[in-house]
Each structure stands twice: as structure tokens, then as C-alpha cells.
Amino acid sequence: MRPNERKFDELRPITINSEFITHPEGSVLITIGGTKVICNASIEERVPPFLRGQGKGWITAEYAMLPRATEQRNIRESSRGKVSGRTMEIQRLIGRALRAVVNLDKIGERTIWVDCDVIQADGGTRTASITGAFVAVVLALGKLIEQKAIAEMPITDYLAAISVGILPTGEAVLDLEYVEDAEAKVDMNIVMTGNHEFVELQGTGEEASFSYDELQEMLELGKKGIEDIFELQKNVLGDLAELIVKKEDKS
């Protein structure tokens, strides 16, 4: 049995609060079970050197955890003087995922900085970050539309992410919380667009491997979970949701 009598294909309670922090152009506090992430999107009126003069924009993401987001306190990366491999991997993933649904040609020479700061961690922080960051980015782009800096919403589709995995019992489950993740033999993160296409698929056997059939089972669970999340994103975005034209479903 999963903690809190959760079913194998059941998400933990999710909320997305868009009124927590006031300075950023877009900001949400996403909560999924015991995981809480502040996702801030900031608009900078310039692009990195490699893009200058091309009339095109950029999105980049940074990810961090407060030292005591976890059960045991972690050393702060600024104190260590360097960012860990895990952090780099995650922030590269978040940036790449967002770039797949934002039309960079239509945001002008601007950089969207996405900061995902985990203030409490209980599994699934990277997928929660992607899901929350998508909303923060749409809110920030909404500000640009409001200021008439851009004409239309440069988003090609919804974007959300969830984790799936295989427990030591061999059961495939949706949305692993920390105690499950720690002992799972396979851990997979799925990032999907509104039309059910994959943006990222990262499956990892932890000193283990997984079969073709197990893969199919996990993909099915993930698709189901992400559909629920799209609904929540839509509700939080309100009027802005109308501006996102979902692509035709290919699933």
C-alpha cells in the first residue's frame, strides 16, 4: 500500500498559487503533496551574446533547494562554491523543456529567467518545477502582452511534467513521493505537451534495468497524470489560458 492509501495511478494533491511573491513578472508557489517550489519568471531586456542581433529571445532556468528543504540539512551550494551535478542536470532539463513550447522567435530580444527554488522537498521537485515554471512563464508573457511589448501569446502548447516509477514490488506507480523514490528500482520523468507529445523522457534504472513492457506501463500512467495537471494549469491561468492554442492531439 502507498502512503496515505494513495492508489498506484493517483496524483498527490496539487495547488498552484499565483499570488505569493510580488516582484517577478510571473510567480507561482506550486505544492504537490509535501513538495513546495517557488517558480519565478523574470523578463530581462537582452539576450546572451550568442543570440544578439537575431531578433530572437531565450529562456534559461536555475534550480536550487533551501538547505533545509530536505529531512537532513544540505550544505548550501553558494558555500560549497559550486553547483552540483544534480542541480545542473535539473536546471538544464527545465530550460530545455520550456524552450520546446515557447516560440522564441516571437518574444523579441529578451531573456526569460526561470528560478525554481524548492523550499520543501518530498519527491518530484524537478517535475513540479517544470509544471510551475510553465505557469510562471505564461504569466510573465501575459505582462508583456498587457504592456503591448508583444502582440500575441508566443506559446505553442501546454507543458507539464510528472514522475513515474517501478517499486521494488514490480508495481508501476504515478507521482513518487520521497520514501517511494528512495527505494524505487526505476525512476522516470516525463515532460509532455498538451497534444500528448513527449518533450523529455528520462528513465533510469537504479542499479537495475526495466523491460519494454514496464516502459509502456509507465508511459500510460504518466500521460494520465499529466492530463489532470493541464486542467489545473488552465484554471490558474484564467483568461490567459484562452490565448494558448493547443496543438492537435497526436496521441
Residues 87-116 that bind its own copies (CB under 8 A): 87-89, 91-92, 96, 99-100, 104, 113, 115
**Of the ranges 10-18, 146-154, 164-172, 197-205, which one interacts with its own copies (CB under 8 A)?**
197-205
Q: Whose Cβ is closer to its own copies: residue 34's or residue 48's?
A: 34
Nearest approach, Cβ of 46 to its own copies (angstroms)?
12
Rounded to 5 degrees, φ, ψ at 110 are: -130, 150
Return the bridge partners of 193, or none. Answer: 159
Rounded to 5 degrees, φ, ψ at 16 are: -130, 115
Scored b (16 or more CB within 10 A) or e, 38-70 reads bbbbbbeeebeeeeeeeebbbbbbbbbbbeebe
Q: Whose Cβ is closer to its own copies: residue 147's or residue 239's?
A: 147
* Rounded Cα distance, 137 and 149, in Å: 15
Q: What are the CA-CA distances from residue 122 to residues 58, 116, 205, 251 (Å)?
A: 31, 15, 20, 31
- Using CB under 8 A, pick the residue from 31, 125, 129, 193 that binds its own copies: 193
Q: Whose Cβ is closer to its own copies: residue 54's or residue 239's?
A: 54
**Of the ranges 6-14, 168-176, 188-196, 238-246, which one interacts with its own copies (CB under 8 A)?**
188-196
Nearest approach, Cβ of 211 to its own copies (angstroms)?
5
Q: Whose Cβ is closer to its own copies: residue 7's or residue 73's?
A: 73
Nearest approach, Cβ of 106 to its own copies (angstroms)?
13
Nearest approach, Cβ of 237 to its own copies (angstroms)?
20
Q: Whose Cβ is closer to its own copies: residue 53's or residue 85's?
A: 85
Secondary structure of residue 233 in the 3-state scheme? helix
Site residues (CB under 8 A) for its own copies, limited to 124-153:
none
Q: Whose Cβ is closer to its own copies: residue 46's or residue 239's?
A: 46
The beta-carbon contacts of 9-13 under 8 Å, at least 24 apart in sequence, are 9/173, 9/174, 9/221, 9/224, 9/225, 10/174, 10/175, 11/162, 11/174, 11/175, 11/225, 11/228, 11/229, 12/175, 12/177
Nearest approach, Cβ of 71 to its own copies (angstroms)?
6
Pick from 37, 81, 80, 30: nearest CA to 62: 37
248 part of the interface to its own copies, by CB under 8 A: no
Residues that bind its own copies (rule: CB under 8 A) add up to a total of 71
- Residues 37-76, one symbol each (x = binds its own copies by CB under 8 A, - = not), give -x-x-x-x-----------------x-x-xxxxxx-x--x
244 part of the interface to its own copies, by CB under 8 A: no
Q: Which three cell numbers stand for residue 29?
A: 508557489
Q: Which residues are annotated as a binding site for phosphate?
A: 86, 124-126
